Amino acid sequence: MRGAVLYGPRDVRLKERQAPKITEPTDAIIRLPATCICGSDLWDYRGIDPVDQPTPMGHEYCGIVEEVGHAVTTIKRGQFVIGSFFASDNTCPNCQAGYQTSCLRRKLVGGAQAGRLRVPLADGTLVATPDLPPDDLIPSLLALSDVMGTAWFAAEAANVKPGMTVAVAGDGAVGLLGVLSARQMGAERIIAMSRHEPRQKLACEFGATDIVTLRGDRGVARIKKLTNGIGADAVLECVGTQEAMMQAIRSARPGASVGFVGVPHGVELDGQELFFSHVRLHGGPAPVRRFLPELIDLVWTRKIDPGRVFDLTLPLDEVAEGYRAMDERRAIKTLLRP
Ligand SMILES: [Zn+2]
């Protein structure tokens, strides 16, 4: 089996790898009709999070179950399933509270940029679709595995409610789907922050009503101006930089919530500023598993189409070009066909 392996900064190659096998009785092996590259893969790719050994890449997946371990009871061979980047038992106290990414038995799923994948804790992790999906739904179902589930969590953590004015920091795939999530949750006005025209266009198609092209404090000033000087009712932070985090907090009105899902890199918060902001913060690695049943239903009934963030589709053979295109911001998100 061939799969994407990162060797060092900007050096990703398709290599022959051992096909995954059942190693625990709770595992499943799935065959992947499509996989993709995550914005967070770029932290490794760019050497910001250095890899110290050749690392199989990819953590977003959906596909057909080929084999299950003898302790797997609910997931069956032949089902089409979706799971999250953290495997979870879905039974421990943290899972029961809806935070499956803090599962007491959580296991990172890696190596999904390949034709096949081993998923631990299959019964707790995987959710099956009602039937085998038509091919045109596969990109949107794949998006639920991380990017859409993460965006949905950002909106949920920001407590988006019908009628609200919502601001979204970040025009990557998560930010764009944050716009879609806020729209789906009934936001009336959605302010997307983006300086890239194709992304602004997609944001508007997903439901953005206003675009702010300014960054930092000038971007904050513009959002204040758009909200009668008060700030947004809910803010989604979908980047993970100091600038985006401060932009999010400072764009929020007193009493608003900020949902932050960008993996923080060098973010530090000032206690005094936080104290006087009157802003609620909630975020972290999205508990995608909690949202999968609802999101699968929304995709299955064609109420949402998060797969539209894939603006580049390549055969898995061309994975290196897929990373380059995202690194150079030529592509929002790359879908790979094994
Ligand atoms: Zn758990």
User: Using one digit for the tens of pLDDT, what is the confidence trace for 97-110?
Assistant: 999 999 999 999 99
User: Using one digit for the tens of pLDDT, what is the confidence trace for 245-270?
Assistant: 999 999 999 999 999 999 899 999 99
pLDDT band at 50; cut points 50, 70, 90 = confident
Averaged pLDDT, 175-198: 97
Task: Supply the mean pLDDT for the chain.
Answer: 96
Q: How far is the CA of 88 from the centre of ligand 1 (A)?
A: 5
Q: How far is the CA of 192 from the centre of ligand 1 (A)?
A: 34
Q: How far is the CA of 91 from the centre of ligand 1 (A)?
A: 5
State how far the Cα of 101 lies from the Cα of 103, in Å rounded to an integer.
5
State how far the Cα of 21 lies from the Cα of 160, in Å rounded to an integer.
42
Q: How far is the CA of 148 from the centre of ligand 1 (A)?
A: 21
Averaged pLDDT, 4-25: 95
Give burial (CB, 10 Å; 0-12/13-18/19+) of 70: exposed
Q: How far is the CA of 284 from the centre of ligand 1 (A)?
A: 16
Query: 51 pLDDT exceeds 90?
Result: no
Phi/psi at 282 (5° precision): -150, 140
State how far the Cα of 199 lies from the Cα of 179, in Å rounded to an integer.
11
State how far the Cα of 169 lies from the Cα of 251, in Å rounded to an integer.
9
Q: How far is the CA of 239 from the centre of ligand 1 (A)?
A: 27
Query: 61 pLDDT exceeds 90?
Result: yes
Q: How far is the CA of 320 from the centre of ligand 1 (A)?
A: 35
The tokens for 140 are 């949107």
Q: How far is the CA of 55 from the centre of ligand 1 (A)?
A: 26
Instruction: Kindly compute the dihedral angle of the four CA atoms of residues 173, 174, 175, 180, in this order, to the nearest 10 degrees.
Output: 90
pLDDT band at 49; cut points 50, 70, 90 = confident
Q: How far is the CA of 106 from the centre of ligand 1 (A)?
A: 7
Look up tokens 């963030």; give the residue: 309
State how far the Cα of 103 lies from the Cα of 165, in Å rounded to an integer.
33
Q: What is the pLDDT of residue 127?
A: 98
Q: How far is the CA of 85 from the centre of ligand 1 (A)?
A: 14
State how far the Cα of 36 lies from the Cα of 316, in Å rounded to an integer.
9
Helices 242-251 and 216-226 sit at what angle, rounded to 10 degrees?
20
Averaged pLDDT, 138-154: 98
Look up tokens 């005094």; give the residue: 272
State the DSSP code for 316.
Answer: G
State how far the Cα of 252 lies from the Cα of 230, in Å rounded to an integer.
8
